[in-house]
Amino acid sequence: MVQDKPATTRHSFNLKRRTVLSGALASLVCAPFVARSAAAQSSSGELRISAWAGYISPEMLAAFEKATGIKASYTPYGTNDEILSLMKVNQGEGFDVIWPALDRVPNYVEASLVQPIDEKRVEWDRCIESAVKSSETLGAVVEGKRYQVPTDWGTEAIAFDTQKAPLTYGTASYSDLWKPEMAGKVTVRGHSALVGLALWLEQQGKLPKPFLESFKNPEAMRANYDVVLEEALARKANVAQFWSSQNEAQGAFRTNGCILGQTWDSTAAGLKQEGMPIGYIAPKEGALAWMEGISLPIGAKNIDQAYAFINWMLTPEAGAMYASHAKVNTTAKGAEALLPADAKAFFETAYPADALDKLWWWPVQESWFVELRTEYQDRFLSA
């Protein structure tokens, strides 16, 4: 069983996060990778990658093969629960590399679906130190063993139509999604919308217990979520579309008339790149922040190739190529030198002033919490 872990608050993580950000995790430009240091680890086996939809491009696979001699295939998935369920059904077989959210790694460990990382085989000097250190308390290390190498981080905050629903930092709030005038104009993800509502209600003094207590024991979770769900159901008419994947969230703005949403940063960045009048802003309650990385399934067959891929992903060129394609923030050192002006502008407008100090980092979500979270989400969706 996974050991109990204290939830990590945004306050205890501030100094580490500052170091991460000053190390420039964000890098969004493609550049060729020419080093071949991983070639010695290559073999005739084909690396089987399963990662979030939109994370791996054909250009990345081609660059990886050019750099290492290793062919790789890519199978996308849309949600954490989707890949976790698939891993359970296949008993950890089928892929050599998967990309779970950091706070969900203990779920994989508990189910014996991933294997410990051989830390001697990872080129840690390529990864920003604070990401490596911070990941230890956010889910990568369980009972003294590491099960993930951090590769990226990002947020879920408020995407908005700059013409029809302009927002300003300092006043922008999760409550903006639930105002009466937004009826039929909002898109949210079921379970994380409840978290955004909870953070707003907590600042209003309307939760019976501190919200982080919800991640520590079922009694506190139910006490808080009963209040949050009641509020969500009373305002559900605002939701024109629920999303569970980036494509769905972007579709809500493209074709379904939404002008406001609680979405990932990459969702808004992609829409803005398409030329749509979409902005992205951290609300005053704090943007929901997450970290992700590479884990090795227990049934991985091509281990040498998997470590070659991990080390390639941590090079500045590969990290920048990845970030440019997926619209996430890479943990690869040196990638900041490849950051184009438009990417810098997006980052600065999304997180102005003290927004980085207010990031709300997802605590570890134990299996019991995920089960209850799903129960409340389903009640929200089906009501």
| Residue 293: band (very low, low, confident or very high) from pLDDT cuts 50, 70, 90 | very high
Asked if pLDDT for residue 199 goes beyond 60, the answer is yes
Q: What is the pLDDT of residue 345?
A: 86
Distance from C-alpha of 185 to C-alpha of 309, rounded to nearest angstrom: 42
**Given the structure tokens 């440019």, which residue do they identify?**
324
Choice among 35-39, 191-195, 233-237, 278-282 with the minimum mean pLDDT:
35-39
Give the mean pLDDT of the chain. 88
Asked if pLDDT for residue 9 goes beyond 60, the answer is no
For residues 2 and 263, the model is more confident at: 263
Q: What is the pLDDT of residue 379?
A: 98
| Residue 341: band (very low, low, confident or very high) from pLDDT cuts 50, 70, 90 | confident
Cα 146 to chain centroid, rounded? 19
User: Residue 177 burial by CB count (10 A; 0-12/13-18/19+): exposed, middle or buried?
Assistant: buried
Q: Domains in the chain, start-ordered, CATH in brackets? A: 14-154+290-342 (3.40.190.10), 155-289+359-382 (3.40.190.10)
Q: What letter does residue 78 receive in the DSSP assignment?
A: S
Residues 11-67: tens digit of each pLDDT = 333 333 333 443 433 333 333 333 333 433 334 489 999 999 999 999 999 999 999
For residues 57 and 343, the model is more confident at: 57
Q: What proportion of the chain, given as a percentage, has pLDDT over 70?
A: 89
**Beta carbons within 8 Å of 347's beta carbon, 6+ residues apart:** 26
The dihedral over CA atoms of 5, 282, 134, 371, expressed in degrees to the nearest 10, equals 30
Nearest alpha-carbon partner for 44 in 299, 318, 297, 308: 308
Distance from C-alpha of 199 to C-alpha of 231, rounded to nearest angstrom: 12
**218 to each of 126, 275, 307, 346, how far by Cα in Å?**
40, 45, 38, 38
Q: Which residues of 356-370 are buried (b: 16+ CB within 10 A; e: fewer)?
A: bebbbbbbbbbeebb
Q: What is the pLDDT of residue 39?
A: 39
Q: What is the pLDDT of residue 4?
A: 37
User: Residue 169 burial by CB count (10 A; 0-12/13-18/19+): exposed, middle or buried?
Assistant: middle
| Residue 6: band (very low, low, confident or very high) from pLDDT cuts 50, 70, 90 | very low
Residues 344-354: tens digit of each pLDDT = 788 889 999 99
Distance from C-alpha of 160 to C-alpha of 166, rounded to nearest angstrom: 7
Asked if pLDDT for residue 260 goes beyond 90, the answer is yes
DSSP letters for 153-177: EEEEEEEEETTTS---TTT--GGGG
Choice among 116-125, 257-266, 321-330 with the minimum mean pLDDT:
321-330
Residue 279 CB: number of other CB atoms within 10 A? 21
SS3 151: strand
What's the mean pLDDT in 303-316?
97
Retrieve residue 240's tokens.
Answer: 């024109």
Residues 175-198: tens digit of each pLDDT = 999 999 999 999 999 999 999 999
Residues 110-139: tens digit of each pLDDT = 999 999 999 999 999 999 888 899 899 999
Distance from C-alpha of 286 to C-alpha of 14, rounded to nearest angstrom: 12
Asked if pLDDT for residue 373 goes beyond 50, the answer is yes
Asked if pLDDT for residue 224 goes beyond 60, the answer is yes
pTM of structure: 0.76
